[in-house]
Structure 1
Amino acid sequence: MVIAIDPVPPLGGHPLAMLLVQVALLLLVATLLGRLAARCSLPAIVGELLTGIVLGPSLLGHTLPQVSEWLFPEVPTQAHLLDAVGQLGVLLLVGITGLHMDTGLIRKRATTAVRVSLPGFVIPLGLGITAGSLLPASLLAEGSDRKVFALFIGIAMCVSAIPVIAKTLMDLGMLHRNVGQLILISGTVDDVLGWFGLSVVTAMATSGLNAGSLVRSAGLLLLFLAGAALIGRPLVHRAMRKTARSDDPGVTLGVAVTLVIAFSAATHAIGFEGVFGALVAGILIRGAGKDVLTRLAPLRTFVVAVLAPLFFATAGLRMDLTALADPAVLLTAVILLVIAIVGKFVGAFIGAWSSGLNRWEAIALGAGMNARGVVEVIVAMVGLRLGVLSTAMYTVIVLIAVVTSLMGPPILRRAVDRIELTADEELRRSDLRSTLHKDDLRPVEQP
C-alpha cells in the first residue's frame, strides 16, 4: 500500500524576507561595533554583544517598541529561524576552538596544568552551586528545577575561554613565556572540563535529575568518548588527509564542516549539548596534520568574521539590561560577579602556589584564567534555551562574561612585566616570530 505524503509547504515570503533583513542588519552593526571595540583596545565580543543590546529590548525595544516589534517580532517561527543561523555559527566556532587545543602540550605539562586548573575549576564551581541554591525563587525561570539551576550557575562561574586566553596572550606578546604557555594549557583543561560539565547538566535538564539519569548520562558520554578515540580518530584522520591531497581546497572545508555538524548531532542525540561534539570533532581534525589545518584557514576567517558575530549579536538580543533596575537582580549580579572573579582567581592562585610558582606567576595565572568570554555566553544561551535561566539571570551571566574578559589583560600585563625573562623564553620568542610569519595557524580571534 502506498501512502501519499503531502509535501512540506515552502517557507513563506515574509518570514524569509524578515530573516534576511535581520541577518543583514545584525551582521552590519556587529561588524561596525566589533571594529569600534577593537579600536578601543576592547575584545570584539563586547561590540558584537552590544549589537543585540542596542537592537534588542534593552534599548530599541525600550525607546522605539514599534520598530523593535517589526524588526524582531515575537513569532516563534521567526525566532527559530534566526536561532538556527546562530547555532550553526556557534557549533563551527567551538569546532575551530578544538583545532587550537594542543593535546600534546597538555600531556607534556599535565601535572602542573591539573594542579593549577582543578582548584580554579572546583572552587568557583562550588561557590556558584551554593549561590544558585540560595538565590531568591523569583530569579528562577518558571518551571525550572532548583538543583539544575544551581548546577548551571556553578558551571557558568568556573569556565574559562581558550579563544579569549589565546587572543589575549598573542596581543600582549606572551605566547613565548612559560607562564603564558601554562595559562593556555591550564585554560584548555578548564575548557574541556567546562564543556563536559555543560553536557552533563544539559542531560540533567532534559532527562531529570536522579541517580539513574546520572549513571546513564555518564555511561553514554564515556561511550561517545571511547568511540571518538578508538573509531572516530582514525576515520577522521584518514578522511581529512585524503582531502588534503585534493587540488580543490573546498573539499577539505566541506568535509571538516560535515564532521563538526555530525559529531554535534551525535552528542545531541544522546542527550548532551551539541557544542561538546563540535569540540571533540575539532580536536580530532587537528590531529590530521598541519596541511589540513592550513587549508582550513578560510573557514576560520569566515566563521570569525561572519557567523560568530551573528551568534553574539543574537545572544545580545536576549539580554534585557532594564532588569538590573530591580535591586534583587542588581545585587545578584554583583554577588555572582564577585564569586566568579574571586573564586577563579583564588583557585588558580592556590594551584600555582602549590606547584612552586612565585607570587607574580600565580597572579598572572589567576588573571589569565578569569577570562570567560565565548564559553560563558554559550553556557548562558544553553540555559536560556532549555528554560533553566530566566532573562534576568541570562543577562547577569553574559555581563559577567564581558566584565571578566575586560579585566584580565591589564592585570596579566602588570604581573608578567614583573617576571624575569629566561634564556629559553627568549629563544622561544624568536622561533614563535618565525612561525607566525610562515604559518597562518593563529589562535581564534573571537573572544
Structure 2
Amino acid sequence: MPPVPGISHDHLLVLLMQIGALLILATGLGRLALRLGLPAVVGELLAGILVGPSLLGNAAPDLSNWLLPRNPEQMHLLGAISQLGVLLLVGLTGAHIDLGLLSRKRVAIGWVSAGSVLLPLALGIGLGFLLPASVMGEDGDRPTFALFIGVAIAVSALPVIAKTLMDMKLLHRNVGQVIIGAAAVSDILGWLLLSIVSAMATAGFRLGVVAESVGYLLIVLAVTVFLARPLIGRLLRPIERSTNPGELGIAAVVVLIVLSAAGTHALKMEPILGAFLCGIIIGSLGPGSRRFLEALRPFVMAILAPLFLATAGLQVDLSALKDPSVLGAGLITLAVAVGAKLVGGYAGARLGKLNHDESLAIGAGLNARGVVEIVLASVGLSIGVLNTASYTIVVLVAVVTSVMAPPLLRRTTSRIAQTTTEIERERDYAAAQPVAK
C-alpha cells in the first residue's frame, strides 16, 4: 500500500494563517469585550463574523477566498482543530456540575429546573412549527427542526452563568446556588435532547428512531454511573499518587474525554454528550482528579475555545437579516427565548417557595445561553437541521442573552438582603481561595 500523501504546502500555509489571524482577532476582541463589561465570548465570536461573509467576504472577496477557501478539505482542517476545542470545553463545563449541590438544593432546584426548561422547550417547539420554511436546514424535517429550536431556547450556559456569578460575588448566595444548580440540570437535559435531535436528523422522525435514541441514552447513562465512574476513578487515583502526576494526569483526562466522545458518537449520538458526561465524572471524583482538568483550562480557554468561537462566527452571515422574514423570525425567537426563560424560571422559583425578588433574579440569571447555545448551533448546522439564516438567528440569541443577563441579574439581586448564613458562606469561600499571584 503506498504511503498517504502529507498535507500540501498551500493547505498548511492557509491553515497556519487561519489559526494566527483568528486567534489574534479573537484574543484582542475578547479582551475588549471584557473591558466593556461584556462576556469574552461576544468578542471572540465577533472575530469570526468580521472575517466571514458578513464583512471581509463583502469588503475584500479575493482575500476572503484565499484565507477562507470554499475547498472542503481546507476548511475541514480548521474544523477538526475547533472540534477538539469543543470537546475539551464541554468536558470542562461538565466538571463545573456539583452533584452534591444538586442533592442539597434538590427541591428548589427541581422546581426551578422544571419551570426554566419545560416552558421554554414547549414554546420553542411550538415556535419551530411556526417559523418560515426559509430558515429550515435542507436535511431536517419540520418536527426535527421544531425540537431543535425547543432545545436551543431551553438551554442555559453553565460556564457563562458560573463566571458571571463569580464576577458579581453572588456564587455564595442562596439565589446563586439555585441558579447554578438549575443551569446544570438544563445543560444535562440539553445535551441529552440534542442527541435525540441528531439521531432524528440522520434517520428521520419516526417513533422507532426516537425509542432507539432514548434506549441508547439510558444505556449510556447506566454505563456512566455503574461502569465508567469506578473505572475512571481506578485509572486516575494511581496517577494522583505518582511522583509527577501533572503531565500524565492531563494526558489521561484528555484521552478519557476524547474516547468518551467517540463512544457516544459510535452510537450515533453527539460526541459532545460523551465529553460532557466524562467531565461530570472527573469533577465528581474529588479535587485530585479535578486538578488535572483545571491544569488543562488555561490552554483550552486561551487558545482552543477562542479558536472554536471564531470558527463558529465564520458561519454567521448578518446579510441574511436583510430578509424581512428572517429578521422577523429572529426577533420573535429572541423574544420567546428571553420571555420563556424569565417566566419559567420565575414560576418555578415561586413554586419552590422563594420570594418575588429571588424568583426574578433566578429567571434573569438563567437567561444567559452563551457558548452552550453556540455549540448547539454549530451542531445544528453540521447535521443540516439549520441553514445559514437560522444559524445566525440562534447565535444572535446566544450573544444577546449573554449580554443581557449580567445587568438584569445585578438589578434584581440588589434588592435581596444577605442572610447570616450567606455571610458566613462568603467568608468560608474567600478563605478557600488561593493567594493571588
Q: Same fold (TM over 0.5)?
A: yes
Query: 1:402 and 2:402 equivalent?
Result: no
Shift of 1:141: 2.1
Matched, 1:313 2:310: yes
Match of 1:189 in 2: 185
SS in 2 for 1:10: coil
The correspondence of residues 57-136 of structure 1 with structure 2, limited to 5 A, is: 57-136=53-132
Give, as a single letter, the amino acid of the residue that structure 1 aligns with 2:36.
C
Partner of 1:264: 261
- Distance in 1 (CA, whole Å) between partners of 2:179 and 2:131 is 32
The counterpart of 2:327, out of the listed 330, 338, 341, is: 330
Structure 1: distance between partners of 2:135 and 2:313: 19
- For 1:140 and 1:219, the matched residues in 2 are separated by 28
Q: The residue matched to 1:101 in structure 2 has which SS?
A: coil
Deviation at 1:438, TM superposition (A): 5.6
The aligned residue for residue 41 of structure 2 is: 45
List structure 1 runs of 4+ shifted beyond 4 angstroms: none
Q: Distance in 2 between matches of 1:363 and 1:346?
A: 9
Secondary structure of 1:262's match? helix
Question: How many pairs align?
Answer: 436
Q: Does 1:16 align with 2:12?
A: yes
State the shift of 1:145 in Å.
1.0
- Aligned pairs for 1:272-283 within 5 A: 272-283=269-280
Percentage identity across paired residues of the two chains: 50
**Hey, what's the Cα distance between the residues in 2 that align with 1:295 and 1:146?**
43
In structure 2, do the counterparts of structure 1 residues 156 and 147 end up closer, same or farther at CA, with 3 Å as the change threshold?
Answer: same
Q: How far apart are residue 246 of structure 1 and its match?
A: 2.3
Would you say the 8 A contact 2:174–2:422 is kept in 1? yes
12-21 or 417-426, which deviates more: 12-21
* 8 Å Cα contact 1:244/1:295 also seen in 2: no
Preserved CA contact (<8 Å) 2:195 2:213 = no
- 2:218 aligned residue: 222
1:376 and 2:373 aligned: yes
Q: Residue deviations 1:274-302, cap 9 Å, x none?
A: 11100110111112221222243220111
- Would you say the 8 A contact 2:98–2:284 is kept in 1? no
CA distance in 2, matches of 1:296, 1:149: 35
Q: Which amino acid is the alignment partner of residue 108 of structure 1?
A: R
State how far apart, in whole Å, the 1-side matches of 2:140 and 2:414 are. 47
Confirm or deny: 8 A CA contact 2:26 2:306 kept in the other structure: yes
Deviation of the 1:208 alpha carbon: 1.8
Q: Within the alignment, does 1:252 sit opposite 2:252 as a pair?
A: no
Counterpart amino acid of residue 16 in structure 1: L
Aligned partner (choices 14, 19, 24) of residue 28 of structure 1: 24
**Which residue is 1:156 aligned to?**
152
Indicate yes or no: 2:358 matched with 1:356: no
Task: Write the distance in 2 (CA, Å) between the matches of 1:247 and 1:381.
Answer: 41
Say whether 1:297 aligns with 2:258.
no
The alpha-carbon deviation at position 13 of structure 1 amounts to 1.6
- Aligned AA (2:356): R
Output the TM-score relative to the length of structure 2.
0.98
Name the CA distance, whole Å, in 2 between partners of 1:62 and 1:324. 15
Contact 2:139 2:383 in 1 (8 A): no
Distance between the aligned counterparts of 2:16 and 2:321, measured in 1? 32
Q: Distance in 1 between matches of 2:11 and 2:37?
A: 38
In 2, distance between residues paired with 1:287 and 1:231? 14
* TM-score, L = length of structure 1: 0.96
- Rounded to whole Å, the distance in 2 between the matches of 1:242 and 1:342 is 49
Alpha carbons of 1:18 and 1:115: their partners in 2 closer, same or farther (altered >3 Å)?
A: same
Paired residue type of 1:409:
P
Residue identity opposite 1:222 in structure 2: L
**Pair 1:173 & 2:158 matched:** no
**Correspondence 1:385 to 2:387:** no
Name the SS for the 1:437 alignment partner.
Answer: coil
Report the RMSD for the aligned CA atoms in angstroms. Answer: 1.2
DSSP-derived class of the 1:414 partner: helix
Quick check: 2:108–2:353 contact (8 Å CA) kept in 1?
no
Deviations along 1:141-200, one digit per CA (max 9) or x if unpaired, are 224211111111111111001001100100111011100111101111111111111111
Deviation at 1:260, TM superposition (A): 0.3
> d(CA) in 2 for partners of 1:50 and 1:136?
27
After superposition, the C-alpha distances for 1:316-364 in whole angstroms (9 at most, x for unaligned) are: 0000001111111110010000000000110010001111111110000
| 1:12 positional shift | 1.4
- Name 2:430's counterpart in structure 1: 433
Assess if the C-alpha contact under 8 Å between 1:240 and 1:288 holds in 2: no
Q: Which of 236, 240, 249 pairs up with 2:232? A: 236
Which stretches in structure 2 are left out of the alignment for 5+ residues? none
For 2:243 and 2:46, locate their aligned partners in 1 and report how far apart those are by CA, in whole Å: 42
Structure 1 residues without counterparts, runs of 5 or longer = 441-447
CA 142–207 in structure 1, closer or farther in 2 if over 3 Å, else same: closer
Q: Indicate the SS of the match to 2:62.
A: helix
Which shows bigger deviation, 307-316 or 7-16? Answer: 7-16
Q: Deviations over 1:386-433 (max 9, x none)?
A: 111010100010000000001111111111111111000000000111
The match for 1:6 is: 2
**Distance in 2 of aligned mates of 1:287 and 1:348:** 27
Equivalent position amino acid for 1:158 in 2: A
